């Protein structure tokens, strides 16, 4: 979950490394560091905390050199101090690492027994010392890396810089992504295409087990067995996206506001609006009509998108859907039938648990359809077929626009599957498509009530616990609303199916705890009204997200009201996501929290 970058350039690289790290900061922001060769000698600067601390450090103590590596960290082994920050170095080399070396204790003991003295608690220092150890035997950096890699268990992407070697950088990849970038007399390594976007759009992704030797003229890639390997050079479009906040204070605000546009763009990709039909991804290697089950797995917000999708697939296409968080799915040895389809959902396409779930399903002989936002990601590349979400880069750590785009794709796929299976006729498909087409406009309407949300959020910011309730597709949205609030405001929140309230959580209700009810007018609206009455009868403080008339109809005077436009219920969850996200956003802003980079989190979770 850390971000790594390496540059063999023509100009001083330290500012370029920092620029690349800024684009990688979403992967972790506990500490950061860079190392370069100044007159052939390894030099490094590191700083605890956000990248701006490293920038300040470099301003006071600049680094020269036209070759260098950089790192932004999400701590796994060892506290996020300067000492534990990467690059880790010996007298021979410096290394940056993304991932976890699982056998680092065993290796450390062995190296200590041979006289090595460790300076940090990190697993990465073991890599630095192990390769240095091998170099003492051969004095050849490439041979040393080749000898060390098979001794490392776990997941890693690594970039090495060697003292005295101005024309050499070595990278390696196993279980964590690493891309090689090609420039004019310059070469690059990076965790993703976005990091390299200012420098080059021509990249090759390393396969698992690959390692690569770079000089300024090019790269020689070898596979895990040491054989030369050809990895295709691709042109990426990552450079086309400007990673800035526009007129917004935070990326999260910008991304919430982008939703009408990006959900519209995603729907346009999957809908033939003129004919009222869904356009399914071409060349799918399976037949929807023959599926007996869908098994979904994903993490966090993407998992909640899948939970909403379950309702749609079961209702429109009559396919049973089983869904798990990927960290459980990967280990529970689920029996998967040959006639089943696995669906994985991921914004980054790099989430370690989701990727492991995908690989498990493939091993069981299933086709895997991934719904991903990063088309060049490992998950997209390893799936049998990928259905893209067209959200563009999501920088705010809390997922917003990727979530609603995932919902848009799931809705389209469920309708298309329904048509293929004969469970939806052309007329119903047209009706559903017409409802989907309205969604971006309804999201834009919901954004107009931002002031009402901000008002309610100020109240929420004074509390320590919040309950979110919803039914049907709004039940997963209640879970998502609670997750958003927890992760960026640090207010404790729980999401519940409204009908579950009386089975336990009702004991929590008192006159202080806000209960946010997501209540679009659907077939079970009356049931949700009954649940609200149960809360009101116990003095609970209801925050109602519903049509303006809903409170009157329910005979309630809510403590807060966020009005929503009338809409058909089928896809209301996509629209109701907007106030749920804004509520979390404004609560966090009111509390002065770091909205885009909440504590302890990282955007791309590439470790278990």
Which residues are known to be catalytic? Answer: 2, 603
Nearest one of 313, 282, 283, 298 to 379, comparing CA atoms: 298
Contact 387, 405 (CB under 8 A): no
Residue 348 in contact with ligand F6R, rule: CB under 6 A:
yes
Nearer to ligand F6R by Cβ, of 200 and 347: the residue is: 347
Strands 169-174 and 154-162: antiparallel
DSSP 513-573: -EEEEE--S-TTHHHHHHHHHHHHHTT-EEEEEEETTHHHHHT---SEEEEE----STTHH
Q: Is 191 in the site for ligand F6R (CB under 6 A)?
A: no
Task: Give the residue, chosen from 135, 146, 398, 442, that forms a contact with ligand F6R under the rule CB under 6 A.
Answer: 398
Shortest distance (Å) from residue 488 CB to ligand F6R:
8
Q: In what order do the strands lie in the sheet with 340-346?
A: 321-325, 293-298, 340-346, 367-372, 385-388
CB of 310 to ligand F6R, least distance (A): 17
For 597, what's the count of Cα atoms within 13 Å in the CB-facing half-sphere? 17
Q: Which is nearer to ligand F6R, 405 or 446 (CB)?
A: 405
Minimum Å gap between C-beta 250 and ligand F6R is: 14
Six token digits for residue 272: 């033939």
Q: Which stretch binds ligand F6R (CB under 6 A): 22-30, 193-201, 296-304, 362-370?
A: 296-304
98-106, 159-167, 197-205, 299-307 -> range binding ligand F6R (CB under 6 A)? 299-307
Least spacing, CB of residue 565 vs ligand F6R, in Å:
26
Q: How many Cβ atoms are within 10 Å of 154's Cβ, its own excluded?
A: 16
Q: Residue 487, interface with ligand F6R (CB under 6 A)? A: yes
Does 346 participate in binding ligand F6R (rule CB under 6 A)?
Answer: yes
Distance CA 159, CA 178 (A): 9
Select the residue interacting with ligand F6R from 42, 180, 299, 444 (CB under 6 A): 299
Q: Give the residue from 257, 357, 268 showing the smallest Cα distance to 306.
A: 357
The verdict on 587 binding ligand F6R (CB under 6 A) reads no
Which one, 517 or 580, has the nearer CB to ligand F6R?
Answer: 580
According to the binding rule CB under 6 A, does residue 347 interact with ligand F6R?
Answer: yes
Residue nearer to ligand F6R on the CB measure, 361 or 567: 361
CA dihedral 44→45→50→53, nearest 10 degrees, is -160
x-or-dash string of contact with ligand F6R, 497-536, rule CB under 6 A: ----------------------------------------
Torsion sign (Cα): 415, 420, 421, 423? positive
- Is 481 among the residues that bind ligand F6R (CB under 6 A)? no
124 touches ligand F6R by CB under 6 A: no
Between CA 574 and CA 414 the distance in angstroms is 15
Q: How many residues bind ligand F6R (CB under 6 A)?
A: 15
* 230-246 as b/e: b if 16+ CB within 10 A: ebeeeebebeeeeeebe
DSSP state of 228: B
| Integer Rg of the chain from CA | 25
383 binds ligand F6R (CB under 6 A): no
Question: Closest separation between CB of residue 394 and ligand F6R, Å?
Answer: 8
Residue closer to ligand F6R, measured from CB, 72 or 399: 399
Q: Say how far apart CA 539 and CA 509 lie, in whole Å.
A: 8
Partner residues linked to 219 by β-bridges: 214
Q: Which of 300, 309, 340, 393 binds ligand F6R (CB under 6 A)?
A: 300
Alpha-helix residue ranges (DSSP H) falling in 279-323? 300-317
User: Residue 302, interface with ligand F6R (CB under 6 A)?
Assistant: yes
User: Which is closer to ligand F6R, CB of 159 or CB of 479?
Assistant: 479
Among 447, 454, 480, 474, smallest CA distance to 255 is for: 447
Region of 85-93, 148-156, 328-336, 346-354 interacting with ligand F6R (CB under 6 A): 346-354
Q: Which is nearer to ligand F6R, 1 or 37 (CB)?
A: 1
Which residue is associated with the tokens 């009222």? Answer: 276
**Choice between 342 and 604, CB closer to ligand F6R:** 604
Q: What is the pattern of x (binds ligand F6R, CB under 6 A) and - over residues 251-290?
A: ----------------------------------------
Position 295 contacts ligand F6R (CB under 6 A): no
399 touching ligand F6R, by CB under 6 A: yes
Contact 356, 327 (CB under 8 A): no
Told to check if 301 binds ligand F6R by CB under 6 A, we report: yes
Site mask, ligand F6R, residues 352-381, x = CB under 6 A? --x---------------------------
Residue 515's φ and ψ, nearest 5 degrees, are -120, 105
For residue 227, count CB atoms less than 10 angstroms from its CB and return exposed for 0-12, middle for 13-18, buried for 19 or more: exposed
Cβ at position 374, least distance to ligand F6R in Å: 8
Cβ-based nearer residue to ligand F6R, 191 or 348: 348
Nearest to 312 by CA among 417, 403, 389: 417
Q: Interface residues with ligand F6R (CB under 6 A)?
A: 299-302, 346-348, 351, 354, 398-399, 483, 487, 604-605
């Amino acid at each position: 979950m850390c971000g790594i970058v390496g540059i063999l350039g023509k100009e001083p690289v330290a500012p370029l490394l920092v620029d690349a790290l800024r684009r990688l900061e979403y992967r972790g922001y506990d500490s950061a560091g860079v190392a370069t060769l100044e007159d052939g000698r390894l030099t490094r600067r590191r700083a605890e905390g956000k990248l701006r601390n490293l920038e300040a450090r470099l301003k006071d103590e600049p680094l020269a050199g036209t070759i260098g590596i950089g790192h932004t960290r999400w701590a796994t082994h060892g506290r996020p101090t300067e000492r534990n920050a990467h690059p880790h170095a010996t007298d021979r080399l410096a290394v940056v690492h993304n991932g976890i070396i699982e056998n680092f204790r065993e290796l450390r003991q062995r190296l200590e027994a041979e006289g090595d003295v460790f300076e940090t608690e990190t697993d990465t220092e073991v890599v630095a010392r192990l390769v240095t150890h091998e170099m003492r035997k051969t004095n050849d950096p490439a041979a040393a890396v080749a000898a060390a890699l098979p001794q490392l268990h776990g997941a890693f992407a690594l970039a090495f810089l060697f003292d005295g070697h101005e024309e050499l950088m070595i990278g390696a990849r196993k279980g964590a992504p690493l891309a090689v970038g090609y420039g004019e007399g310059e070469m690059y390594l990076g965790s993703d295409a976005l990091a390299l976007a200012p420098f080059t759009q021509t990249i090759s992704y390393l396969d698992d087990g690959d390692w690569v030797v770079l000089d300024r003229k090019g790269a020689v890639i070898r596979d895990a067995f040491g054989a030369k390997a050809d990895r295709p050079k691709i042109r990426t479009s990552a450079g086309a996206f400007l990673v800035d906040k526009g007129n917004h204070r935070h990326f999260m605000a910008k991304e919430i506001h982008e939703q009408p546009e990006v959900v519209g763009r995603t729907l346009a990709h999957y809908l033939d609006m003129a004919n009222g039909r869904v356009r399914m991804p071409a060349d799918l290697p399976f037949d929807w009509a023959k599926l007996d089950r869908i098994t979904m797995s994903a993490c966090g917000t993407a998992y909640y998108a899948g939970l909403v999708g379950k309702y749609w697939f079961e209702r429109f296409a009559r396919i049973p859907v089983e869904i798990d968080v990927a960290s459980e799915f990967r280990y529970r040895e689920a029996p998967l039938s040959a006639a089943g389809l696995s669906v994985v959902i991921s914004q980054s396409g790099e989430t370690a648990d989701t990727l492991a779930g995908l690989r498990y399903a493939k091993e069981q002989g299933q086709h895997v359809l991934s719904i991903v936002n990063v088309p060049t990601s490992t998950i997209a590349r390893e799936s049998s077929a990928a259905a893209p979400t067209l959200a563009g880069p999501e920088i705010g750590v809390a997922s917003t626009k990727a979530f609603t785009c995932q919902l848009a794709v799931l809705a389209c796929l469920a309708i298309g599957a329904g048509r293929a299976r004969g469970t939806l006729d052309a007329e119903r498909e047209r009706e559903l498509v017409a409802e989907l087409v309205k969604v971006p406009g309804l999201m834009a309407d919901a954004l107009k009530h931002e002031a009402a949300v901000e008002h309610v959020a100020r109240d929420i910011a004074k509390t320590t616990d919040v309950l979110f309730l919803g039914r049907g597709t709004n039940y997963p949205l209640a879970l998502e609303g609670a997750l958003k609030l927890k992760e960026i405001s640090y207010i404790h929140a729980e999401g519940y199916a409204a009908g579950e309230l009386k089975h336990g959580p009702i004991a929590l209700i008192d006159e202080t705890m806000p209960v946010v009810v997501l209540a679009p007018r659907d077939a079970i609206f009356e049931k949700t009204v009954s649940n609200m009455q149960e809360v009101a009868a116990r003095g609970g403080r209801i925050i109602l997200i519903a049509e303006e008339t809903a409170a009157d109809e329910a005979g309630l005077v809510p403590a807060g009201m966020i009005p929503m436009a009338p809409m058909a219920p089928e896809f209301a969850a996509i629209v109701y996501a907007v106030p749920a996200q804004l509520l979390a956003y404004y609560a966090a802003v009111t509390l002065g929290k770091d909205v885009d980079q909440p504590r302890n989190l990282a955007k791309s979770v590439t470790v278990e």
